[in-house]
Amino acid sequence: MNILKSVNAVSACIPGSHASQIHIRNEIRNYFGYFGMPQLYFTANPSATHSTIFQVMCSNTNVNLTKRFPQLVPSRQRALTLAKDPVAATDFFDFSIKCIFKYLFGWDFQKKCSTSEGGILGPLRSFYGIAELTEQANFHGHFLLWLMGGLNPSQLHECLASDEGFKHRFFDFFEDIIHHHLPQNDGINIDPSYEPRIEHPPRPPHPTQALLDELYTWESDFVTQIKICGEALQRHVCRPVCHKYGKDNYCRFLFPHKIIEASYFGLQSKSIVLMCHDSTINYFNPYILVFCRHNHNIKCILSGKAAKAASFYITDYITKMGPKTYEMLSLLSKAVSNMPATDDCSGPAKAKILLHKCLSQFSRQQQIHGQQAARYIRGKGDSMSSHRTKPMMSAILISNVKSIYLPELSQSSVEDQSEDEEFEPISLRIALDQEGHLMTSNQFHYYYYREPTLQ
């Protein structure tokens, strides 16, 4: 078990590993600590098979992206192209996500902040996402979004209870960005077999040159588009996958949803319930739907509990197919028995060889999809986030807190920690403390003693 711990510590940087999952969970906690609770949970499922852009990315020169209805080969052939080119598929996913954040959410990737005008959700403060490859080899992105000026649940409940004007603005905003019904548009006949994903989104008129007539035409076009795309991409029909994990009696995505005539805030239960006029339509944003043309899900996270659940939910995706502990132990025993018998190298060198052997034993047994491999080789890990975090070894922190608050115990606890720390590379530096005495310094000291100006 000790060796397994050490191997996990070493593999924290290896994408897809259990240790990387823990690292991501810690990063998300870090975001919670710094930015507070996220307001939105967003899932995007760009489909490479049906995308005209993907065809161009795998160098199909016959596809003209300036046309509203580009000529495409049949879907079977497109699926074959996708299977043959995992690198293009990975790049397509990355491109799609970047476009959503840049053009729809108004995120400036260079400056790592929202553009001044923001996007369809207003200005974003930060985001944290996970790339998940489904069993059908389709990358999904699951994101937690923090909005500029977003409130923590307790503050929010207070405002909703005491300020009627705030409540109206709050519901107006969320009903505007999250829809749970399609437009009433009885005049349109939609062919159920029509595939809106292969059509390009219509181009809105330029705001400065548009005539009023053009704008009206565009508006009605847009509503028609919401209806067409929504029927094909956002309407939930229960399939066997809904009843996975023993959910025999009900759909695990909780469809059909309960009809809610108007959004409300339950003062007693502190529950915020948004309007829902169509029980089988998945939560969506009309702009994402029409311009990205893929299935997606955008939900408001209205309680601390829901935010925590969402963070666990998204990290669980990464290591769904990881090996079980007993499998890992059996692999480790193989690695240990394969150690060379010679005694001509030092203890630390031997430990290094052992760790290396254990890791390669794991990676040899692991099977990952070509698209996932391409993503890792491209230098993209499991997560996609707006801000970088700095991990801190909890052992250092705890031993320092103990040495400050429990000085009589500190000697023994420091010794206890030092054994564990042998495997974790900590850089020790010599520095002067506040009284001018020489001391060893580590990451904790760096934070504890640093100049107030650096804060």
Site stretch for Zn ion (CB under 5 A), options 45-53, 144-152, 234-242, 379-387 = 234-242
Give the nearer residue to Zn ion in terms of CB position, either 252 or 352: 252
Classify residue 115 by burial, with Cβ atoms within 10 Å: 0-12, 13-18, 19+.
Answer: middle
- H-helix segments, 378-442: 394-405, 407-421
Sign of the torsion formed by the C-alpha atoms of 209, 213, 214 and 216: positive
12 vs 238, beta carbon nearer Zn ion: 238
Selected from 238, 359, 368, 373, the binder of Zn ion by CB under 5 A is 238
DSSP E strands: which ranges in 110-193?
113-114, 124-133, 139-147
Q: Compute the least distance from the CB of residue 280 to Zn ion, in Å.
A: 9
User: What is the closest distance, in whole angstroms, from the C-beta atom of residue 138 to Zn ion in the complex?
Assistant: 18
Q: Is the distance from CB of 352 to CB of 386 less than 8 angstroms?
A: no
Closer residue to Zn ion, CB minimum distance, 125 or 296: 296
Interface region with Zn ion, contact rule CB under 5 A, candidates 5-13, 43-51, 235-243, 305-313: 235-243
CB atoms within 10 A of CB 359: 16
Distances in Å between the Cα of 363 and the Cα atoms of 261, 332, 336, 390, 423 are 53, 12, 16, 26, 20
* Closest distance of CB 409 from Zn ion, Å: 55
Q: Rule CB under 5 A: which of 250-309 touch Zn ion? A: 251, 255
In angstroms, give the least distance from the CB of 202 to Zn ion.
Answer: 31
Piece of the chain touching Zn ion by CB under 5 A; list 89-97, 233-241, 270-278, 399-407: 233-241
Nearer to Zn ion, 138 or 282 (CB): 282
Contact region with Zn ion (CB under 5 A), list: 71-79, 99-107, 160-168, 231-239: 231-239
Q: Residue 254 and residue 242: Cα distance in Å, rounded?
A: 9
328 C-beta neighbours (distance < 10 Å), count = 19
The residue (of 256 and 340) whose beta carbon lies closer to Zn ion is 256
Shortest Cβ distance from residue 140 to Zn ion (Å)? Answer: 17
Among 242, 260, 300, 353, which residue interacts with Zn ion (rule: CB under 5 A)?
A: 242
Site string for Zn ion, 86-125 (x = CB under 5 A): ----------------------------------------
* 174 forms part of the interface with Zn ion (CB under 5 A): no
Contact region with Zn ion (CB under 5 A), list: 22-30, 168-176, 238-246, 442-450: 238-246
CB 292 → Zn ion: shortest distance, Å? 23
What does the alpha-carbon distance between residue 110 and residue 147 come to, in Å, rounded to a whole number?
19
Residue 3 or 238: the one with the smaller Cβ distance to Zn ion is 238
Looking at the Cβ atoms of 218 and 255, the one nearer to Zn ion is: 255
Under a CB-based contact definition with an 8 Å cutoff, are residues 185 and 204 in contact? no
- Measure CA of the first residue to CA of the last residue in the chain; give whole Å: 40
C-beta of 251: minimal distance to Zn ion in Å?
3
Q: How far is the CB of 249 from Zn ion (least distance, A)?
A: 12
In terms of CB distance, is 135 or 213 closer to Zn ion? Answer: 135
Query: Are 49 and 21 a contacting pair, CB within 8 Å?
Result: no
Distance between CA 125 and CA 16 in Å, rounded?
Answer: 27
Contact yes or no for 31/24 (Cβ under 8 A): no
Of 113 and 238, the one with the shorter C-beta distance to Zn ion is 238
Site string for Zn ion, 7-46 (x = CB under 5 A): ----------------------------------------
# residues near Zn ion by CB under 5 A:
4
Nearer Cβ to Zn ion, position 109 or 253? Answer: 253
Contacts of 130 (CB under 8 A, 6+ apart): 24, 141, 142, 143, 314, 315, 317, 318, 382, 383, 384
User: Within 10 Å of residue 348's Cβ, how many Cβ atoms?
Assistant: 9
The token pair that represents 100 in the structure block: 């959503």
What would you report as the CA-atom Rg of the chain, rounded to the nearest whole angstrom? 26
Applying CB under 5 A, the residues found at the interface with Zn ion are 238, 242, 251, 255
